[in-house]
Amino acid sequence: MSTVEDHDPETGEIRDTGKPNVGEYSVSELSHALKRTLEENFGHVRVRGEISGYRGPHTSGHCYFSIKDEGARLDAVIWRGSFGRLKSKLQEGLEVIATGRITSYPGKSSYQIIIENVEPAGVGALMALLEERKKKLAAEGLFDSSRKKPIPYLPRLIGVVTSPTGAVIRDILHRLNDRFPRHVLVWPVRVQGETSAAEVAAAIAGFNRMEPRPDVIIVARGGGSLEDLWSFNEEIVVRAAAASDIPLIAAVGHETDTTLIDFAADHRAPTPTAAAEQAVPVRSQLIDKVAGLSGRLKGGVWRSQEERRTRLRSAARALPKPDDILALARQRHDAAAGRLTQALRANTQIHRSRLERLAGRLTLRPMRQQVVRERERLDRLGQGAARAMALALDRRRHALVTQTKLFASLSYRSVLQRGFALVRDAGGQPVRAAAEVKPAQELAIEFADGRIKVRENGGPKQGSLF
């Protein structure tokens, strides 16, 4: 700083008055000048450090904290509008890369960064954030096995959420055509980038609103780094997968890659090709299976029929002969008819004897009257007995006719009337098979109209009459 010089009038020497020769600043002017200098020279910067002093948003919606490293600390501010657009969740101790502009806060004579975007710094930070988010969503029950829905065995329509230009959709379509061609509806989305998570969530919700909607949804993406697959770790995607009424298969990344949508999906496939294999069966194997089941069904029907045929034959052999069935009925009928006649005669004799005894005790006139009354009574009894006998005979005759018809229907003679013949041996026993006939054996063949005798002469179907 320079001062104003003056000459001494007596000695002529130069004197220093001690007054500065620069302009003066107020505190506010100097603070704002420094603020402009910082903003003009630094503009937008990316700062890497650890979040410190984070307590969440203020009641105003703004967020105040610090970013620090081993040697320094930088105050940070996120305005309410920017905080609502952040993709990453802030937390104490998280290492982040903050993008914003450097400025100063005159009220505290300090400088700070106004943050516009925050992203985790490095894989370690992402893994820590992923683990915390996984615990949170698991606590809400979004990963519970009870929520899982079975994948339909043979879907008619398959919805695929993926990029329409990548190799993933080609692999899925190729595998479906190899196994069992099905209708496929592709919902194109970005599988990486700022809008990727929102597009994937909207696609899942859109498939659920369709009519008719797909029977199964495949969310697929090829392999990549943790940052590349981060869209499928976002809460909006995980919640959309868990809320889907349509069974969902997650096929994100390679077999070793794991994202949060894998836990919320109804089924996880290690690769997009494996997802296509899980969605449909192999058509040729299904045809072979149906053919095998058809053969088993035919065999079961044949065995069931054979079993019923055997049971029917056994039951037929156990049935009694018609003559045996009618013999007892005939005997009972004859016995009853014989007893009825004798009973009627005995009853008439009893009444006649009683009448004679009564007649002997009566005078002539009363006796005549009594005789008339008894005769009338006897006539009535005789008429009743005649009607009873006729009714009983009719019943027995009807029963005999019924038994005769049953005998005729069960008799082998009704079979002979249809053109068949009965072969008997010399002892009168039926011959049931040609193998039972001995050479030169005498046989009797009974037709509907008579019998003939034949002798076996060795020919396959010939016999000789005698």
User: DSSP labels for 275-312?
Assistant: HHHHHS--HHHHHHHHHHHHHHHHHHHHHHHHHHHHHH
């829905």: which residue's tokens?
Answer: 149
pLDDT at 300 over 70: yes
**pLDDT tier for residue 85 given thresholds of 50, 70 and 90:** confident
326-335 long-range contacts (CB < 8 A, ≥24 apart) are 326/403, 326/404, 326/406, 326/407, 329/399, 329/400, 329/403, 330/400, 330/403, 333/396, 333/399, 333/400
Task: Give the Cα separation of 190 and 188 in Å (integer).
Answer: 7
Domain borders along the chain are 27-120, 147-281, 322-410, 416-465
- Count, in order, helices (H) and strands (E) of the chain: 12, 16
Tokens 């053969």 label which residue? 295
Highest mean pLDDT pick, 291-300, 421-430, 445-454:
291-300
Check pLDDT > 70 for residue 458: no
Q: What is the pLDDT of residues 372-403, one digit of tens each?
A: 788 888 888 888 888 888 888 888 888 888 88
b/e string for 366-405 if b means 16 or more Cβ within 10 A? eeeebbeebeeebeeeeeebeeeeeeeeeebeeeeeebee
Average pLDDT, the chain: 83
CATH 3.40.50.261 holds for 147-281: yes
Does residue 22 register a pLDDT over 60? yes
Reply yes or no: is the peptide bond before residue 439 cis, omega within 30 of 0: no
CA distance linking residue 88 with residue 24, whole number of Å: 47
Instruction: Band the pLDDT of 9: cuts 50, 70, 90.
Output: low
Q: What local confidence, expressed as pLDDT, does residue 201 receive?
A: 95
The reply to whether CATH 2.40.50.140 applies to domain 27-120 is yes
Residue % of the chain over a pLDDT of 90: 28
Q: Which residues contact 241 (CB under 8 A, 6 or more apart)?
A: 204, 219, 248, 250, 261, 264, 265
Element (H, E) at 360: helix 322-360
436 falls in which pLDDT band (50, 70, 90)?
confident
**What is the pLDDT at residue 5?**
53
Rounded to whole angstroms, the Cα distance separating 16 from 71 reads: 45
Q: How many CA atoms lie within 13 A of 453 on its CB side?
A: 8
- pLDDT at res. 317: 79
Question: CA–CA separation, 1 vs 19, rounded Å?
Answer: 10
